[in-house]
Structure 1
Amino acid sequence: MSSLRSRVLSISRWVSLTIAGSMLFIDLAVILYGVFMRYLAGGAPIWTDELARYLIIGSVLLAAGAVWVEGGHMRVALIERLLPPALCRLLNVYQWLLTLGLAIAGTVISYKYALSVSMFTSSGLGISRTIPMMSLPVGFALLSWHALWYGPAPLRTLVEDTA
């Protein structure tokens, strides 16, 4: 992998995972606040459940591209092990094009959807539904970005040590 490509992926991966991790930490705090208020103080505000749901969806989508690049997602690489090198290279190009195509399509479709729900407000937070729904196109765009910079190289696999 070229130096520029690896630096861009490294920085982009760090930023994505840092923001996603921060959102996950905030989500944990919101859930704990909701549990404390519900069971110890007598009643939780309605917004805690809704905010926790939006935060978990946003954190997963923001981390998806970085996880894809480092091979941390769930996949079965059996076919890649059985194919000859030339066909394996063709399979890698196919996987890359499929991932890139689906991620770009997901970006466009979810962006249109997020804009279409702008007239509705969320019940608990009282904000336009477009605001939390924008995590979908941003997440898909980041997946597209990471896949584009990664290129049609073989995907990394996580191997367990059996010792």
Structure 2
Amino acid sequence: MLSLRSRSLLVSQKATLWLASSLLLIDLLAILFGVFMRYIAGGAPIWTDELARYLIIASVLLAMGAVWVEGGHMRVALIERLLPSGLCRLLNVYQWLLTLMLAIGGAVVSYRYAMSVSMFTSSGLGISRTIPMLSVPAGFALLAWQALLYGPAPLKTIAEEVE
């Protein structure tokens, strides 16, 4: 039976990956619409490029925490394999605390920035720049939340998944 923390992490991972996948699908449709309009209909609206750019950034940032928990990001785990178990545990706690601090810091700084650009509008969509910029603090906050739920346990590696 899974603990509440494990279930919360699993639900959070699935929800963010579904949201990121949905944004990626919408991004694909916007790009295809832009290509169709540009090369078949004779002229693409300017908003398709801008929407595609904002959607790809949002999908990557929203999936960031779930990918971190799964160990799917790029990292070198050589030091963890060479250290004795006590030092390895200390390294895992250090990595976890560093991830939490950077994620929380990134969420706070990017939220302040997103709020500071509210007076500007995007050129293609004509919306406040704050709206697409909020995906950055949301992504960092989700990373912090999912790292907090994961705890200072060792991160998964590709070698562990293959075995």
What TM-score comes out, normalization by structure 2 length?
0.97
Instruction: Name the SS for the 1:140 alignment partner.
Output: helix
- Counterpart of 1:78, as a letter, is L
Partner of 2:107: 107
Structure 2 Cα separation of the partners of residues 24 and 2 of structure 1: 30
Superposed, which structure 2 residues align to 1:1-163 within 5 Å?
3-159=3-159, 161=162
- Counterpart of 1:139, as a letter, is G
- Counterpart of 2:89, as a letter, is R
Structure 1 residue 121: Cα displacement: 0.1
* Identity in percent: 77
Instruction: Name the SS for the 1:36 alignment partner.
Output: helix
Structure 2 Cα separation of the partners of residues 10 and 74 of structure 1: 21
Instruction: Name the SS for the 2:158 alignment partner.
Output: coil
Structure 1 residue 161: Cα displacement: 4.5
Q: Deviations over 1:73-103 (max 9, x none)?
A: 1110000000000000000000000000000
Q: Deviations over 1:119-161 (max 9, x none)?
A: 0000000000000000000000000000011110001111275
Structure 1 residue 2: Cα displacement: 6.0
Q: Deviations over 1:19-54 (max 9, x none)?
A: 000000000000000001001110000000000000
Instruction: Name the SS for the 1:74 alignment partner.
Output: coil
Instruction: Name the SS for the 2:66 alignment partner.
Output: helix
Structure 1 residue 3: Cα displacement: 1.2
Structure 1 residue 9: Cα displacement: 0.6
Structure 2 Cα separation of the partners of residues 6 and 93 of structure 1: 18
Gaps in structure 1 of 5+ consecutive residues: none
Aligned-residue CA RMSD (Å):
1.4
Inter-CA distance 153–2: structure 2 relative to 1 (3 Å threshold): farther
Instruction: Name the SS for the 1:73 alignment partner.
Output: coil
Q: Which deviates the most, 152-161 or 134-143?
A: 152-161
What TM-score comes out, normalization by structure 1 length?
0.97
Structure 2 Cα separation of the partners of residues 145 and 95 of structure 1: 15
- Counterpart of 1:31, as a letter, is I
Instruction: Name the SS for the 1:64 alignment partner.
Output: helix
